[in-house]
């Protein structure tokens, strides 16, 4: 039996003290995105607005830039733009979570902030146990673990994790990402009246791939099931990443047919997104701008003791049978100087790496080259993005087809990331990029108006 270290939190904070200066001075470290002060960041967890403040947690490995026994790092914000670092909410220091406080969600009940997460336990031979656990907080700063709430039911392998809890029809529901004993990916449903005892309600959706991670359920015009399936075969321009993240628009009572699955984002790095509803009634989403087993070992930031970042917060809306994503309007606060305002069509010049680039009134096929590294092409209704392959073997590309003609594109560039929102969020591409740090040249060919804003230049999300 492995020993449990009760001083893990202190050790994590020592790592922050020792290495965050190096991480933050990396030219690839983001200026306005959430990134870890040290170590590895993956899934967003526990996204909630509680007593007026947004709380966002994430999967965090403070001790190195690989995966392993995850903590929950914790950030708060009043406006979704400036985030303050809080003490880590959960450390893997109990018998039921000792190899990781894995992903989960947050809800409010009786004035308390409650976290539901997966306790991952893996022995030296790789045998896995999984427990769905709860933690509570009265002040939204320190969290007390309550313990195990749900054990693995019959019929599933221990790949059973990532509880997302919500309230509906005066009851609490929980979806969990799972794998059946027949090695099929699925989502299971639980129900509770008090958030203490849970009833297993069966499989809510299944059908493709061998494992579904990080489920989420919410209502836009219709019911939406969001999840990250693993094991889908590449199909034309679809499913070209190692794993996918997408949604099915369906009906909670009638089901979520797998053939309606659509990818949410078409970039190289996007996984395990999570949503919450805020007090303005907006459905907000944050995703991990990363991809497990998708080349992360080649990122050049390991030597500076950090890896990965979040996407910007986005508002989700339903347009017909699609979910569209718009950057939240608060992000306009990031704008400082206007660097470019060009109506003549093309543009060529040097631009910094913390900018928002807006193209409107696009009238013909366009070609964009950013920092001699990342290209974006529109041909007919197809948009293709291309960059050098992370493993150094030539180029790699992703593509998506527009439903309506291209009219506008909004790009957020932040040192080593690029989020492209096409036609007001109809198609989104989220990707990392690692151009030579001294190259600033950008070229746009095609006819459109072009505006570029400098965005806040401070380093770090704190």
Residues recognised as catalytic: 43
User: Which residues are registered as beta bridge partners of 107?
Assistant: 114
Q: Does 213 bind ligand FRU (CB under 6 A)?
A: yes
- Minimum gap (Å) between residue 430 Cβ and ligand FRU: 15
Figure out which of the listed residues 20, 49, 77, 103 binds ligand FRU, where binding follows CB under 6 A. Answer: 103
Q: Does 179 bind ligand FRU (CB under 6 A)?
A: no
Q: Does 43 bind ligand FRU (CB under 6 A)?
A: yes
Angle (CA) 446 450 455, round 5°: 135
Q: Does 118 bind ligand FRU (CB under 6 A)?
A: yes
With CA atoms as reference, report the closest residue to 22 among 219, 301, 284: 301
Nearer to ligand FRU, 161 or 283 (CB): 161
Nearer to ligand FRU, 215 or 446 (CB): 215
Nearer to ligand FRU, 20 or 179 (CB): 179
Figure out which of the listed residues 59, 130, 423, 454 binds ligand FRU, where binding follows CB under 6 A. Answer: 59
Between the CA of residue 309 and those of 29, 60, 87, 157, 373, what are the distances in Å?
9, 11, 19, 30, 20
Residue 45 neighbours by CB under 8 Å, 6+ apart: 56, 57, 58, 59, 72, 103, 104, 105, 106, 115, 117, 274
Nearer to ligand FRU, 43 or 263 (CB): 43
In whole angstroms, what is the distance from residue 282 CA to residue 207 CA? 30
Among positions 260-279, residues that touch ligand FRU (CB under 6 A) are 271-272
- Minimum gap (Å) between residue 43 Cβ and ligand FRU: 5
- Asked if residues 31 and 354 have their Cβ atoms less than 8 Å apart, the reply is yes
In whole angstroms, what is the distance from residue 190 CA to residue 175 CA? 6
- Asked if residues 166 and 218 have their Cβ atoms less than 8 Å apart, the reply is yes
- Minimum gap (Å) between residue 235 Cβ and ligand FRU: 22
In degrees and rounded to multiples of 5, residue 215 shows phi and psi of: -75, 155
Q: Does 431 bind ligand FRU (CB under 6 A)?
A: no
Among positions 128-157, residues that touch ligand FRU (CB under 6 A) are none
Figure out which of the listed residues 20, 31, 42, 415 binds ligand FRU, where binding follows CB under 6 A. Answer: 42
In whole angstroms, what is the distance from residue 53 CA to residue 2 CA? 38
Among positions 223-262, residues that touch ligand FRU (CB under 6 A) are none
Nearer to ligand FRU, 101 or 359 (CB): 101
SS3 107: strand
Q: Does 292 bind ligand FRU (CB under 6 A)?
A: yes
In whole angstroms, what is the distance from residue 108 CA to residue 119 CA? 21
Nearer to ligand FRU, 30 or 119 (CB): 119
Burial of 14 (0-12, 13-18, 19+ CB in 10 A): middle
Taking phi over 0 as left and psi of -120 to 50 as alpha, with beta for the rest, 438 belongs to alpha
Q: Does 161 bind ligand FRU (CB under 6 A)?
A: yes
Q: Does 294 bind ligand FRU (CB under 6 A)?
A: no
Q: Supply 156's token pair.
A: 């599933």
In whole angstroms, what is the distance from residue 138 CA to residue 135 CA? 11
Q: Does 32 bind ligand FRU (CB under 6 A)?
A: no
Nearer to ligand FRU, 67 or 333 (CB): 67
- Minimum gap (Å) between residue 295 Cβ and ligand FRU: 15
- Asked if residues 130 and 188 have their Cβ atoms less than 8 Å apart, the reply is no
How many residues touch ligand FRU under the rule CB under 6 A: the total is: 14
- Minimum gap (Å) between residue 213 Cβ and ligand FRU: 4
In whole angstroms, what is the distance from residue 382 CA to residue 397 CA? 12
Figure out which of the listed residues 70, 74, 282, 432 binds ligand FRU, where binding follows CB under 6 A. Answer: 70
Nearer to ligand FRU, 30 or 215 (CB): 215
Q: Supply 355's token pair.
A: 């900018």
Figure out which of the listed residues 71, 102, 173, 227 binds ligand FRU, where binding follows CB under 6 A. Answer: 102
Residues interacting with ligand FRU, by CB under 6 A?
42-43, 59, 70, 102-103, 118, 161-162, 213-214, 271-272, 292
């Amino acid at each position: 039996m492995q020993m449990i270290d009760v001083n893990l939190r202190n050790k994590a904070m020592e790592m922050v003290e020792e290495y965050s200066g190096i991480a933050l001075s990396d030219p690839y470290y983001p200026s306005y995105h959430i990134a870890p002060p040290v170590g590895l960041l993956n899934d967003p967890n526990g996204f909630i607005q509680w007593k007026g403040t947004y709380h966002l947690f994430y999967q965090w490995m403070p001790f190195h830039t690989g995966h392993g026994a995850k903590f929950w790092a914790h950030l708060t914000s009043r406006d979704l733009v400036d985030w303050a670092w809080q003490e880590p909410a959960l450390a893997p220091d109990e018998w039921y979570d000792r190899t990781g406080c894995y992903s989960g969600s947050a809800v409010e009940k009786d004035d308390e902030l409650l976290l539901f997460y997966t306790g991952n336990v893996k022995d030296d031979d790789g045998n896995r146990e999984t427990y769905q656990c709860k933690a509570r907080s009265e002040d939204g700063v320190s969290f007390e673990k309550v313990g195990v709430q749900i054990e693995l039911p019959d019929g599933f392998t221990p790949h059973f994790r990532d509880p997302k809890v919500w309230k509906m029809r005066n009851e609490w529901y929980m979806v969990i990402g799972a794998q059946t004993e027949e090695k099929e990916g699925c989502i299971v449903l639980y129900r509770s009246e008090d958030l203490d005892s849970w009833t297993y309600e069966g499989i809510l959706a299944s059908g493709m791939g061998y494992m579904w991670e990080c489920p989420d359920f919410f209502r836009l015009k219709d019911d939406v099931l969001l999840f990250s399936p693993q094991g889908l075969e590449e199909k034309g321009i679809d499913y070209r990443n190692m794993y996918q993240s997408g949604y099915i628009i369906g009906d909670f009572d009638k089901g979520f047919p797998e053939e309606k699955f659509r990818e949410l984002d078409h970039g190289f790095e996007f996984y395990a997104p999570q949503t919450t509803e805020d007090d303005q009634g907006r459905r907000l989403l944050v995703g991990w701008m990363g991809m497990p087993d998708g080349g992360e070992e080649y990122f050049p930031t390991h030597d500076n003791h950090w890896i990965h970042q979040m996407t910007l917060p986005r508002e989700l809306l339903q347009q017909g049978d699609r979910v569209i994503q718009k950057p939240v309007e608060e992000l306009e606060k990031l704008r400082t100087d206007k660097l470019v305002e060009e109506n003549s069509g093309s543009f060529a010049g040097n631009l910094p790496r913390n900018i928002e680039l807006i193209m409107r009134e696009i009238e013909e096929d366009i070609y964009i080259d950013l920092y001699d590294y990342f290209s974006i092409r529109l041909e007919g209704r197809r948009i293709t993005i291309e960059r050098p392959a992370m493993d150094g073997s030539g180029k790699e590309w992703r593509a998506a087809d527009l439903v309506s003609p291209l009219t506008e594109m909004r790009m957020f560039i932040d040192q080593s990331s690029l989020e492209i929102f096409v036609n007001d969020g109809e198609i989104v591409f989220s990707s990392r990029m690692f151009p030579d740090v001294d190259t600033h040249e950008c070229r746009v060919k095609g006819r459109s108006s072009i505006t570029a804003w400098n965005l806040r230049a401070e380093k770090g999300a704190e």
